[in-house]
Amino acid sequence: MENDQFMCPTDIITGIVFIDGELAMLTLTADGELRWTEYGLRQYLSMKKDVLGFIVEGKQIRVKAVVEKEAGGICCGQFGGDFVRKDFVFEPLIDQNGWCYKLRQYLDSLGRPKRLLVFVNPFGGKKSAREIFVKEVKPLFEDADVQLEIQETKYQLHAKEFVKSMDVSKYDGIVCVSGDGILVEVVNGLLERADWRNALKLPIGMVPAGTGNGMIKSLLDTVGLRCCANSATISIIRGHKRSVDVATIAQGNTKFFSVLMLAWGLIADIDIESEKFRWMGSARIDFYALQRIICLRRYNGRILFLPAPGFEGYGQPASCSLYQEPHVSDKEVGYQGPETKFEDLEWREMKGPFVTIWLHNVPWGAENTLTAPAAKFSDGYLDLIVLKNCPKLVLLSLMRQTSSGTHVESPYIVYIKVKAFVLEPGALVDEPDKEGIIDSDGEVLARGKRTYKCDQKALMSYDKLQVTVDQGLATLFSPEY
């Protein structure tokens, strides 16, 4: 190896190189730093955090990197977010192959994804996913030399159908350039496979390009990054992972696997019924929320829950019998939900009327809605928010407070953690012949009588359903935390 006399015992490679026409000593250290002196100043790039990849251009090696905006650097392209692209070019005097080999060897040792399946949903949010992918996501993956197989979703459940039959061995992960809807489809598709245990080892990455973007907001906000395509893509390239709980919503032998939320009452009504004002853009939510608060609905019903430790004092004691599906092999039916026996544990109940019930798996429900500030990704619990009654002016204030998460401090709100949950939905207090909507992860699970689009078929009926949670079942690409 060249210039052994200049190397520390822990250095991987060191040598004299040209940088901007000047001679410099460049070192790749064992802890993954490229170090050199330029214009009398010590410089370095972290292979783990800054470097995406490199290419050879004749005698030169061009290192593709990103740096935090606060750290300075040259902005290449129209990127928003916390990082800017920056190239570092050097020319070894000798042993170019040795430098390439050591750089590649170190990058490979980081366990980063090399082959990704990418779903692009051109219909979600502002219909900008295709443009976001081409302008912001693809260039970063190219810099990192990641091979992509791109699938544009053409209809609802397209992503779910694709992942149910794909060869999982072909990929190191799945990326969803979309809102939360495609993520939910992918999780449901993987869990319906005969080899779901192996398929769920495939990490899933999110790039925000939809309406809500609650999951990627929750991931990035945890480490202080903004919710944008730039930061999300870099997090995927770096290859760090974290597990996330998966909730099984069941009614008889019908199942839906949720990673975000379940809502009934006011929140579900706003989310689903405001679709009639989709022409208003994102303002439709605020506009329709005001309408629903002025003409406030309250629903009869009952909820039962298995409280997490420390929350046993909420509600009243109750007995509960969960639906148990007859045992069949995984090869026939895929994942069937957590195997824990819940019936003999100490259940609690609350009876209506209710204004809204909100069950959350991660902190953010959308980019501007911190629904459950105490929610954790893989604690094995769901966060339950219950609102039974509230003056309208106070409720209006509470809705505004969801952007900061301070709504859960209100005396009108019960905010607890649960291990299992049962919803027995009822009719409107003032209109006994009219029922409600049950919403999970932005999709209608059930439509009751005389509800918005009640003639459309839903996955479940407006009746008793149960929710159980399996700790850390799925895997997500995540920023390092």
For residues 90 and 420, give the distance between their C-alpha atoms in angstroms, rounded to a whole number: 58
Q: Where in the chain is the domain with CATH 3.40.50.10330?
A: 115-239
- Give the model confidence (pLDDT) of 316-335 as tens digits: 999 887 766 555 554 457 89
Q: What is residue 70's predicted lDDT score, i.e. its pLDDT?
A: 61
Distance CA 201, CA 196 (A): 9
Q: Decide if domain 4-108 falls under CATH 2.30.29.30.
A: yes
pLDDT of residue 283: 73
Ranges of beta strands (E only) in 58-203 are 60-68, 83-92, 115-120, 147-152, 173-178
Question: Is-contact 176 270, C-beta < 8 A?
Answer: no
Looking at residue 210, what is its pLDDT?
84
Kindly report the length of the chain.
481
Dist CA 64 CA 237 (whole Å)? 12
Known catalytic residue at 180: yes
Please report the pLDDT score of residue 78 as a whole number: 39
DSSP state of 421: E
pLDDT of residue 293: 94
> Which residue type, as a one-letter code, is found at position 165?
S
Amino acid at 146: V
Amino acid letter, 373: P
3-state secondary structure of 23: strand
Alpha helices in 22-80 (DSSP H): none
CATH 2.60.200.40 in the chain: give the residue spans: 250-470
Question: In the chain, which stretches have pLDDT less than 70?
Answer: 1-9, 70-81, 281-282, 323-332
Tokens 């495939």 found at: 202
Residues of the chain with CATH 2.30.29.30: 4-108
* Angle at which helices 392-401 and 283-294 cross, to 10°: 160
- Give the span between the Cα atoms of 275 and 174, in whole angstroms: 29
Whole-number pLDDT of residue 255: 93
Q: CB of 326 within 8 A of CB of 405?
A: no
Q: What is the DSSP string of 204-251?
A: EEEEE-SS-BHHHHHHHHTTT--SSHHHHHHHHHHT-EEEEEEEEEEE
Point out the catalytic residue in the list 50, 82, 143, 180.
180
Helices (H), 20-179: 96-109, 129-132, 138-143, 158-165
Domain 115-239 has CATH 3.40.50.10330: yes
Residue where the block lists tokens 């597990």: 243
Q: Which helix (H) or strand (E) holds 27?
A: strand 22-29
Torsion of CA 136, 142, 147, 149, to 10 degrees: 30
As a whole number of angstroms, the longest Cα–Cα distance in the chain is 87
Q: Which CATH number fits domain 250-470: 3.40.50.11540, 3.40.50.300, 2.60.200.40, 1.50.10.10?
A: 2.60.200.40
Say how far residue 215 (Cα) sits from the centre of its chain: 3
- Residue at 319: amino acid letter: S
pLDDT tens by residue, 351-384: 999 999 999 999 999 999 999 999 999 999 999 9
Task: Name the pTM for this structure.
Answer: 0.91
- Give me the pLDDT at residue 472, please: 95
Pairing of strands 115-120, 147-152: parallel
| Burial track 131-159 (b if 16+ CB lie within 10 A, e otherwise) | ebbeebbbbbbebbbbebeebebeeeebb
- ∠ CA 76-79-84 to the nearest 5 degrees? 55
